[in-house]
């Protein structure tokens, strides 16, 4: 019974087809999000990443943002409008494209939730870092497709 519910929910959120774009992270950009995910355990961390857009999105910079979600941050994250504005400014100052948002899933696979889908905006890549007991486990990236579902995109780091 529980299994069926999980699968149904996933089918609403995750597309069967993968996204044609690809993410390539510099080791610096990757280390910032991996460490943030581990340090914030058992809570969800979040932040922005920047780089050059294209068929291959080259990520060169990551900024950590405070999780502004009130209440239980073990299963939720929220980024304030002010932090969105700061991120856009940062991109302009650095001459980079704002490419997306990362967050962590503590003791949970890197598959987006219904809540993640509701928060998602087009063109952003959504990196999810799965952390088990404060240690990095795996990472996946997702992007909204034309059907409004998350399609997985390849990520190299």
Interface residue list for Zn ion (CB under 5 A): 113, 116
**Which CB, 18 or 113, lies closer to Zn ion?**
113
Environment class of 26 (CB within 10 Å of its CB; exposed 0-12, middle 13-18, buried 19+): middle
**Which CB, 49 or 96, lies closer to Zn ion?**
49
Please say whether the beta carbons of 142 and 151 come within 8 A: yes
**Which CB, 78 or 116, lies closer to Zn ion?**
116
CB of 55 to Zn ion, least distance (A): 26
CB of 116 to Zn ion, least distance (A): 4
**Which CB, 25 or 46, lies closer to Zn ion?**
46
CB of 118 to Zn ion, least distance (A): 11
CB of 112 to Zn ion, least distance (A): 6
Please say whether the beta carbons of 88 and 110 come within 8 A: no
> What is the b/e burial string over 53-89, where b = at least 16 CB atoms within 10 angstroms of the residue's CB?
eeeebbbbbbbbbebebeeebeebbbbeeebeeebee
Pairwise CA distance, residues 150 & 11, whole Å: 10
**Which CB, 19 or 150, lies closer to Zn ion?**
150
Q: What sign does the dihedral 24-25-27-28 (CA atoms) show?
A: positive
CB of 113 to Zn ion, least distance (A): 5
Q: Closest-CB residue for Zn ion?
A: 116
């Amino acid at each position: 019974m529980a299994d069926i519910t999980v699968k149904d929910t996933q089918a609403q959120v995750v597309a069967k087809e993968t996204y044609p774009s690809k993410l390539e992270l510099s080791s610096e950009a990757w280390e910032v999000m991996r460490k943030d995910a581990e340090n914030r355990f058992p809570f969800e961390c979040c932040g922005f990443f920047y780089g050059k857009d294209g068929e291959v999105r080259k990520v060169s910079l990551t900024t950590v943002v405070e999780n502004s979600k009130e209440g239980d941050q073990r299963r939720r994250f929220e980024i304030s409008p002010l932090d969105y504005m700061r991120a856009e400014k940062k991109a302009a100052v650095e001459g980079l494209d704002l490419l997306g948002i990362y967050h962590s899933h503590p003791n949970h696979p890197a598959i987006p939730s219904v809540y993640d889908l509701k928060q998602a905006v087009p063109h952003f890549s959504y990196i999810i870092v799965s952390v088990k007991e404060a240690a990095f486990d795996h990472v996946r990236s997702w992007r909204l497709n034309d059907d409004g579902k998350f399609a997985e995109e390849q990520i190299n780091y």
